[in-house]
Structure formats: structure tokens, C-alpha cells
Amino acid sequence: MPTRERLTVQEFKDWLKQFDTNCDGQISRKELREAIRRRGARFAGLRALFAVRRADKNRNGVVDDSEVEHLIELAERELGFMITDTAVPPPPARPCATDSPSPRGYTVY
């Protein structure tokens, strides 16, 4: 399973665009298969087939920009993405144990 990667919806759309080989603004099953392969998931062809069927609401055989959001479930469940509506700040840094005073009141360096 690929490592979990945090992305916003827009970052996910931008990531998908790199697989739009014919630059038509739509993701075909073949293009989605390549994206799934690059993430290291198995059975990329079948996953792409089912994902396009689920996401392609107007049944034209491709996923256009208005339908990309339907691919988010696949991306989170099977491709290791964590997709949010807004940018997620990194977790706060934990203080180092040596940054706190010692039990006797001395600062440890």
C-alpha cells in the first residue's frame, strides 16, 4: 500500500492532470489506469474501469473536471491519499525533552 499523502481537492486535480496525455481536460480509463499504476496499486486496469464507471455521471466514457470529485473516494480508499477541502497545516512540533527544565530546575542543554 502506498504511503498516505495529504492533498487538497485542487492538488489532487493537479496530480491527475499529469496523466491527461492527450490534454483534452478529461481522464480516460487508460489515463486513470496509468495514474493508479504509478501509485503502486495492484489490478490497475480493473480499478480504473470501475472508478470511471462510478465517476462518469454523464456516461461519456471519461471523467471530466466536474466529475473528478467522484474519484476522491477511490483515491482515499485505494491509492493512499488523504484529501481535504482546504490545506491542512502540518502537526505542531513536539517539544524536545531536553528543552524543558530538569526536575531540579536546571535547563538541560
Quick one: which of 2, 1, 4 has its CA closest to 81?
Answer: 4
Please give the CATH number for the structural domain made up of 6-83: 1.10.238
What distance in Å separates the CA atoms of residue 63 and residue 61, rounded to the nearest whole number? 7
For residue 81, name the pLDDT band (cuts at 50, 70, 90). confident
Q: Is the per-residue pLDDT at 52 higher than 80?
A: yes
Q: What is the largest CA-CA distance in the chain?
A: 72
- Domain boundaries, given as residue ranges, for the chain: 6-83
Helices of type H across 1-109? 9-17, 29-38, 44-55, 72-78
| 9-18, 23-32, 36-45, 72-81: the lowest-pLDDT one | 72-81
| 42-46, 67-71, 83-87: the lowest-pLDDT one | 83-87
